[in-house]
Amino acid sequence: MLVLGIESTCDETGISIVRDGKQILSNIVSSQIDLHREFGGVVPELACRRHIDVIIPILDEALKQAGITLNQIDLFAVAHGPGLIGALLIGLNTAKVLALAQNKPFIGVNHIEAHLYAVLMSYPDPISFPCLGVVLSGGHTALILMHDIGHYELIGQTVDDAIGEAFDKVAKILGLPYPGGPQIEALALQGNPKRYLFKGGQVKGRPFDFSFSGLKTAVLYTLKGQNANQNFASEVNPADLAASFQQTAFEDVIYKTLLAANQSRIQTILFGGGVTNNRRLKELFEIADKQKIYKWPSVGLSLDNAAMIAGLGYQHYLKRGKGDGLDLEPLTRISF
């Protein structure tokens, strides 16, 4: 079965063609990093305009690279949330129009769930359930108990900033370009992670929830004092600050993830989202618990992409035996 997937939830436009939920024939992603860099974060209006500009050229490219014509596609899959409303509408309407014109089914999938499906696509052999899913991206931070594809329990999530967003904001505070994650990782390599003692954010009565905004503010105050307009305090070392921030954020994620896995007697942990590109995160998990089995998305499937949307769309279509109606709405928030 050939599935064409569409991703447009935030600042990446993606179209991919995937056979039988796993074999990627093409996976085209147009990133908008250049567009949003000068603003230090995603500007929704600009993101939508860019999605409109590139979505059809990317569609042509994806078909060409896969050596497929549109009438060979069996199913159109799209991420219909969570994300920016205008951005979602562009991908969703594109998928609906293509399905209608080709008289083929169409299905909407959850972008966060797709980040975890990306891991299942990354390994040749099937991964057995149950697993613990950990989503660490620019828009989301969540711990999800995965009983099977489509059968989940949300254990914890962020109550404010997502972890990737915290990396981006701390990078901005340090004067580093967007997106900040790779910049912080590189700077932290030269720093001492024990130089500044920050605390991970705790949410009262909810041991698996995350809060990163306090940590980000602690970095700001360390750098500039309580008066955020002040210039860099000269004695502050930016590399130590980046390393200490990164260490604190990751120790928090690792502690809560392993606690959740141990409580649920789960051995296999799946990771999704852009922050999983960070090598230090992988090292720290290995140091914290060598017995667990860690599964990471492959290159090209960690950041936002449409292959994971096509793959997950295929799985849901198989289970349900039918697609969604053309009245499917975009959802800026989706709960599990």
Q: Which positions touch ligand KG4 (CB under 6 A)?
A: 10, 137-139, 164-165, 167-168, 179-182, 185, 273-275, 277-278, 303-304
Considering the rule CB under 5 A, would residue 32 count as an interface residue with Zn ion? no
Q: Interface residues for Zn ion in 135-164 (CB under 5 A)? A: 137
| Residue 278 interface partner, choices ligand KG4, Zn ion, none, CB cut-off 5-8 Å depending on type | ligand KG4
d(CA 177, CA 181): 10
Q: How far is the CB of 280 from ligand KG4 (least distance, A)?
A: 8
Three-state DSSP at 128 gives: coil
Query: CA 156, 270, 261 angle in degrees (round to 5)?
Result: 55
Q: How far is the CB of 246 from ligand KG4 (least distance, A)?
A: 8
Number of C-beta neighbours around residue 23 at 10 A: 12
Q: How far is the CB of 33 from ligand KG4 (least distance, A)?
A: 10
Considering the rule CB under 5 A, would residue 304 count as an interface residue with Zn ion? yes
Considering the rule CB under 5 A, would residue 248 count as an interface residue with Zn ion? no
* Residue 268 parent element (H or E): strand 268-272
Q: How far is the CB of 114 from Zn ion (least distance, A)?
A: 8
* Residue 137 or 246 with smaller CB distance to Zn ion: 137
- 261 to 300: interface string for Zn ion, x by CB under 5 A: ----------------------------------------
d(CA 87, CA 265): 39
- The footprint of Zn ion on this chain (CB under 5 A) covers a number of residues equal to 2
Residue 229 neighbours by CB under 8 Å, 6+ apart: none
| Residue 158 interface partner, choices Zn ion, ligand KG4, none, CB cut-off 5-8 Å depending on type | none
| Residue 311 interface partner, choices Zn ion, ligand KG4, none, CB cut-off 5-8 Å depending on type | none
Three-state DSSP at 330 gives: coil
20-23: long-range contacts, CB 8 A cutoff, minimum separation 24: 20/314, 21/121, 21/310, 21/311, 21/312, 21/314, 21/315, 21/318, 22/121, 22/311
| Residue 81 interface partner, choices ligand KG4, Zn ion, none, CB cut-off 5-8 Å depending on type | none
